[in-house]
Amino acid sequence: MSLLWLRVAVFLYGIAALAVLPVALYDRPRWRHIAIPATVAAVFFHFVSLAEMLNAAHHRLPVDTHETQAFLGLILALAFLLVYSRYKTVSLGIFVLPICFLLVLIPAFHPGQEYAAFPLFHTGWIFLHIALLLAAYAALLVSLLASVLYLIQERRLKQKSPTISWLPPLETTDQIALRSLLLGLPCMTAGLLIGSLIAQVTIGASYFRDPKILLAFAMWLAYVAMIYIRRHAGLRGRRAVYLSSFVFVVVLAVWAANQFSAVHRFTAP
Amino acid sequence: MSQPTQTRPGSLVLLGINHNTAPIEVRERLAIPTERLADAARTLVHQPGIREGLILSTCNRVELITLQDNTGEASHPQSKTDLLRFLHEYFAVPAQDIQPHLYEFRESEAVRHLFRVASSLDSMVVGEPQILGQVKEAYTIAREAGAVSTHLEALLQRTFTVAKKIRTETQIGSSSVSIASVAVDLARKIFGSLQGKTVLLVGAGKMSELAARHLIQQGAASILVTNRTLARAEKLAAEFLHSSVTTAVIPFDDLYDQAARADIVITSTGAPQKIFGRSHGQHFLQRRRNRPMFFIDIAVPRDVDPRMNEVEGCFVYDIDDLQQVASANLADRSREAAAAETIVSREVDKYQERLQSRDAVPAIKALQQQAEAIREAELARSAKRLAALTPEQLEAVEALTRSLTAKLLHPQLTALRESTRNKDTDTD
Half-sphere exposure of B217 (CA within 13 A, CB side): 11
For A169, the closest of B188, B288, B291 (CB atoms) is B188
Residue B400 burial (C-beta neighbours within 10 Å; 0-12, 13-18, 19+)? exposed
The confidence band for A82, taking pLDDT boundaries of 50, 70 and 90, is very high
Q: Alpha-carbon distance B244 to B220, whole Å? A: 9
The count of CB pairs under 8 A between chains A and B is: 54
Mean pLDDT of A18-28: 82
Lowest mean pLDDT among B103-107, B400-404, B408-412: B408-412
Mean pLDDT of B378-400: 86
Tell me the pLDDT tens digit for each residue of B173-188: 777 777 888 888 899 9
Mean pLDDT of B420-427: 56
* Res B1 pLDDT > 80: no
* Res B77 pLDDT > 60: no
Comparison of pLDDT for B152 and A121, the residue scoring more: B152
For A169, the closest of B168, B192, B324 (CB atoms) is B192
pLDDT of res. A268:
41
Tell me the pLDDT tens digit for each residue of B104-122: 998 889 999 999 999 989 8
- Residue type for A173, please? T
pLDDT of res. B340:
92
Contact list, B290 vs chain A (CB under 8 Å): 233-236
Q: Say whether residue B339 is in contact with chain A using an 8 A CB cutoff.
A: no
B59 as an active site residue: the answer is yes
pLDDT of res. A135:
92
Helices H / strands E in chain B, number of each: 15, 10
Q: Say whether residue A163 is in contact with chain B using an 8 A CB cutoff.
A: yes
Identify the closest residue of chain B to A235 by CA–CA distance. Answer: B290
Half-sphere exposure of A263 (CA within 13 A, CB side): 18
Catalytic pick among B24, B59, B386, B404 = B59
Comparison of pLDDT for A82 and A201, the residue scoring more: A82
The confidence band for B23, taking pLDDT boundaries of 50, 70 and 90, is confident
Residue B426 burial (C-beta neighbours within 10 Å; 0-12, 13-18, 19+)? exposed
Looking at 2.60.120.650, 3.40.50.720, 3.40.190.10, 3.40.50.10310, the CATH number of the domain B179-326 comes to 3.40.50.720
pLDDT of res. B9:
61
DSSP assignment of B339-382 equals HHHHHHHHHHHHHHHHHHHHHHHHHHHHHHHHHHHHHHHHHHHT
Q: Say whether residue A155 is in contact with chain B using an 8 A CB cutoff.
A: no
Q: Alpha-carbon distance B3 to B363, whole Å? A: 7
Q: Alpha-carbon distance B57 to A44, whole Å? A: 54
CB A59 within 8 A of CB A269: no
The shortest C-alpha distance from B265 to chain A (Å) reads: 16
Contact state of A236 with B171 under an 8 Å Cβ cutoff: no
* Res A117 pLDDT > 70: no
Contact list, A238 vs chain B (CB under 8 Å): 312
pLDDT of res. A69:
82
The CA-based angle A89-A91-A93, given to 5 degrees, is 105
Contact state of A234 with B191 under an 8 Å Cβ cutoff: no
pLDDT of res. B314:
94
B403: enclosing H helix or E strand: helix B391-427
Tell me the pLDDT tens digit for each residue of B44-75: 888 888 889 999 988 888 999 999 877 655 45
Contact state of B290 with A153 under an 8 Å Cβ cutoff: no
CB B421 within 8 A of CB B353: yes
Q: Is the ipTM of this complex over 0.85?
A: no
Mean pLDDT of A183-202: 88
Averaged pLDDT score across all residues of chain A? 83
Q: What is the third-level CATH fold of B11-169?
A: Beta Polymerase; domain 2 (3.30.460)
- Residue A183 CA: distances (Å) to CA of A137, B156, B165, B294: 11, 51, 40, 30
Optimal mutation site among A147, A149, A158, A172, interface B, most CBs of chain B within 10 A: A158
Q: Say whether residue B218 is in contact with chain A using an 8 A CB cutoff.
A: no
Chain centroid to CA B40: how far?
22
Tell me the pLDDT tens digit for each residue of A139-192: 989 999 998 899 888 888 998 876 667 788 999 998 898 899 899 999 999 998
pLDDT of res. B427:
47
pLDDT of res. B72:
53
Chain centroid to CA A182: how far?
14
Mean pLDDT of B278-306: 91
Mean pLDDT of A57-67: 62
SS3 B247: strand
Contact state of A171 with B315 under an 8 Å Cβ cutoff: no
Predicted model pTM: 0.68
Lowest mean pLDDT among A157-171, B96-110, B311-325: A157-171
DSSP B134: H
Contact list, A243 vs chain B (CB under 8 Å): none
* Res B370 pLDDT > 60: yes
Contact state of A160 with B317 under an 8 Å Cβ cutoff: yes
